[in-house]
Amino acid sequence: MTFKLPVVNERPNLSRRNLLQALGAATGGFLLADFMLPKAAFAQTKDVKRKFVFAYFEGGWDQLLGLDPRDPATTNAANQLIDPAYSQLAYGFSSRGVQRAGQLELGPAVPPSFLQIAGECSIIKGITMDTAAHEVGRRYFITGRFPRGLEAVGSSTASEILAQIGEATPIAHISAGVEAYAEKMPSFAHALNVNSLSDLSIALTPIATLDPKIKAAVEKFQDESPGCEGVRLNRDGLTSQLLESVKRSRSYITSQLSSVFDLTRNDAEMAALRNLYDIAAAQGDVSAPEVMAFAAGQAIKKNVAQCVSFQAARNLDTHADWAQDHPGRQEQGWKALASLITDLKNTPGSMPGKTMLDETTILAFSEFARTPLFNNIRGRDHFLGNSVLVAGAGIKRGIKVGGSAAVGQMPIETDLATGIAYEMPTQMMRDSGQVQILTPKHVLATVLASAGLDYSYLRADPIRALLP
Region 271-292: mean pLDDT is 98
Mean pLDDT of 263-280: 98
Phi, psi for residue 348 in degrees, rounded to 5: -60, 140
pLDDT of residue 45: 85
pLDDT surpasses 50 at 309: yes
Confidence category of residue 7, pLDDT binned at 50, 70, 90: very low
Strand order in the sheet with 121-128: 192-194, 171-176, 305-313, 51-57, 360-365, 385-392, 121-128, 400-401
Greater confidence (19 vs 358) lies with 358
Q: How far apart are CA 442 and CA 446, in angstroms?
A: 6
Name the DSSP class of 264: T
Q: Which segment of 15-19, 295-299, 312-316, 323-327 scores lowest on mean pLDDT?
A: 15-19
pLDDT digits (tens, 9 = 90+) for 367-399: 999 999 999 999 999 999 999 999 999 999 999
Q: Residue 53 above 60 pLDDT?
A: yes
Provide the whole-model pTM. Answer: 0.85
Give the DSSP per-residue string, 401-450.
E--B-TTT--B-EEETTT--EESS--HHHHHHT-EE-B-HHHHHHHHHHT
pLDDT in tens, 218-265: 666 666 666 676 666 666 565 555 555 555 555 555 557 999 999 999
**The domain at 54-196+256-412+445-466 falls in which architecture?**
3-Layer(aba) Sandwich (3.40)
Average pLDDT score over the chain: 88
User: How far is residue 398's CA from residue 104's CA, in Å, rounded to a whole number?
Assistant: 7
pLDDT of 64-113, one tens digit each? 999 999 999 999 999 999 999 999 999 999 999 999 999 999 999 999 99
Report whether pLDDT(33) > 50.
no
Question: Domain map of the chain by residue range?
Answer: 54-196+256-412+445-466
Q: Which residues pair with 382 in a beta bridge?
A: 370
Distance, in Å, from the CA atom of 309 to the CA atom of 304, rounded to the nearest integer, reads 13
Q: Please count the residues of the chain.
A: 468
Query: What whole-number percentage of the chain has pLDDT above 70?
Result: 80
Flag the least confident range among 25-34, 324-333, 453-462: 25-34
Contact 42, 351 (CB under 8 A): no
